[in-house]
Chains A and B, each alone.
Chain A
């Protein structure tokens, strides 16, 4: 049984919705009733059937529409996809990783046939049938990273590893939570995380870097991160902040359920075989408050997390303008009963 791909938008009329099955599989990021930064990195091993962790690279009902949105962003702003000259080999590594993972997990939608360097890729949902020579730039319409990430949900950063550090030397970033690839490209791990409050003092990045530089091929790792977004907008870039920022002033008690979205990033980390680079897919999942509160446990817990969030974090995540309205709305779904441990809906 294949995926039923939705036709929907992440801008203008914002027709994005989650089906009931996709609400149940949403990667809810809070395992307890409060939140603070932690080095919450774990092995990226297969999760339960039907969950976003069932396959190493998740493809869901929003795939086709997300790829259409990415194409719009890149047409408006080509600087969202950049690769420093030494990163081409890592781009081929990434192309191999994503093509083989998709073809293996979703054979009804994707297929890859390899005869030495002669590869044949079929992407049925996007109507792509491409024969090319692996390693030969002239046989693809884009560079290898851009080619395959125009067909893969989520942002991708490719990190070069040298001098005991990780360097943001390539990436495609069109669904980001307010950071600029154009500004951060070429920075090391500490530099591009420099604006994050509180976490440096807790030693989070020092420990995370130590873990990440030791990620081995075939043993990927993952973590969840989260923020909130007004309207189901994928492109919440700083580049366009002056266009989407006003949305934050439009939240009212009447429209919280439809306008306010929890935005969860499933970040994973993979060692690439030829380049020894680390690829860092940042997959974004959105859920409306009306959808989220169909799970009473998630509703109670989110209320407590947002209500008790430290002020610096609320500011950094951009919640300030509508936090009170949101907390008041969520309070209606919190009867004070305990929540069970763990991420699941019940």
Chain B
């Protein structure tokens, strides 16, 4: 579970089957397990109208067989979030009555899939989310605007401009990122130790 922090930090729930006719799932790694757990409560025929976009990442093949066994109308396995996002965007492009969106897995996956959904005009409050697995963060460097992916340490060095960033809990849905601010701006000779903080 994500610890209680500040009000811009997203709050995640537990996936539950919604009334609708088209169910789009986007999940990565341990998020596959969230879909399987939800499926136990799903009504008969629920997955006949489902499209599952799944990125196995470090979970490997643990969930791929059981997810396909749900017999969704469409099943796609992607090698990375970046590779899968165009498919999600294309799927969301035409607005459809009765469509429901479910996001599960790492914060990075939920954030980026949410961002694509917001761009398609879907209200964030209508989207089901469940966080599972890594709490590694996407971080926007407030200085150079570059995004560093899969951040597990505090502080972290910006992969674009090289500044040493303090990773705040302040989160932007629009950017799908936490904010990183130079940790030693007032005296760059101060180098704090880099420790694992998000896993």
Q: Which residues in A have some Cβ–Cβ distance to B below 8 Å?
A: 79, 180, 182-187, 190-195, 200, 238-242, 245-246, 248-249, 321
Supposing A79-B145, A241-B143 touch, asked if A246 and B187 sit within 8 A by C-beta, the answer is yes
User: B9–A245 contact, CB under 8 A?
Assistant: no
Q: Which among B6, B163, B188 has the highest number of chain A CB atoms within 10 Å?
A: B6
Question: Which of B40-48, B89-97, B101-109, B173-181 is near enough to bind chain A?
Answer: B173-181
How far is B24's CA from A279's CA once the two chains are assembled, in angstroms? 38
User: A183–B9 contact, CB under 8 A?
Assistant: no
Supposing A193-B7, A194-B6, A194-B170 touch, asked if A245 and B145 sit within 8 A by C-beta, the answer is no
Question: Hey, which chain A residues are within 8 Å of B163, CB to CB?
Answer: 242
User: B182–A184 contact, CB under 8 A?
Assistant: no
User: B7–A185 contact, CB under 8 A?
Assistant: no
How far is B167's CA from A195's CA once the two chains are assembled, in angstroms? 12
Task: Name A243's closest neighbour in chain B (CB-CB).
Answer: B185
Question: Hey, which chain A residues are within 8 Å of B7, CB to CB?
Answer: 190-191, 193-194, 200
User: A241–B8 contact, CB under 8 A?
Assistant: no
Question: Hey, which chain A residues are within 8 Å of B140, CB to CB?
Answer: 183
Chain B, 1-33, CB within 8 A of any chain A CB: 6-9
Q: Which residues in B have some Cβ–Cβ distance to A below 8 Å?
A: 6-9, 140, 142-143, 145, 163, 168-170, 172-175, 179, 181-182, 185-188
Question: Hey, which chain A residues are within 8 Å of B172, CB to CB?
Answer: 183-184, 186-187
How far is B181's CA from A180's CA once the two chains are assembled, in angstroms? 11
Subset of 24 A-B contacts with CB under 8 Å: A79-B145, A183-B142, A183-B170, A183-B175, A186-B172, A186-B174, A187-B8, A187-B172, A187-B174, A193-B7, A194-B6, A194-B169, A195-B170, A238-B142, A238-B179, A239-B142, A241-B143, A242-B182, A242-B188, A245-B182, A246-B185, A246-B188, A248-B186, A321-B186
How far is B6's CA from A194's CA once the two chains are assembled, in angstroms? 6
User: B186–A194 contact, CB under 8 A?
Assistant: no
How far is B119's CA from A40's CA once the two chains are assembled, in angstroms? 37
User: B185–A194 contact, CB under 8 A?
Assistant: no
Question: Hey, which chain A residues are within 8 Å of B174, CB to CB?
Answer: 185-187
User: A180–B142 contact, CB under 8 A?
Assistant: yes
User: A182–B145 contact, CB under 8 A?
Assistant: yes
Task: Name A186's closest neighbour in chain B (CB-CB).
Answer: B174
Task: Name A197's closest neighbour in chain B (CB-CB).
Answer: B6
| Smallest beta-carbon distance B192→chain A, Å | 15
Task: Name B175's closest neighbour in chain A (CB-CB).
Answer: A183
How far is B175's CA from A185's CA once the two chains are assembled, in angstroms? 10
Question: Hey, which chain A residues are within 8 Å of B175, CB to CB?
Answer: 183
Task: Name B168's closest neighbour in chain A (CB-CB).
Answer: A195
| Smallest beta-carbon distance A208→chain B, Å | 14
Task: Name A318's closest neighbour in chain B (CB-CB).
Answer: B186
Q: Which among A185, A191, A194, A242 has the highest number of chain B CB atoms within 10 Å?
A: A242
| Smallest beta-carbon distance A254→chain B, Å | 20
Question: Hey, which chain A residues are within 8 Å of B185, CB to CB?
Answer: 241-242, 245-246
Task: Name B174's closest neighbour in chain A (CB-CB).
Answer: A186
| Smallest beta-carbon distance A323→chain B, Å | 13
How far is B8's CA from A12's CA once the two chains are assembled, in angstroms? 36
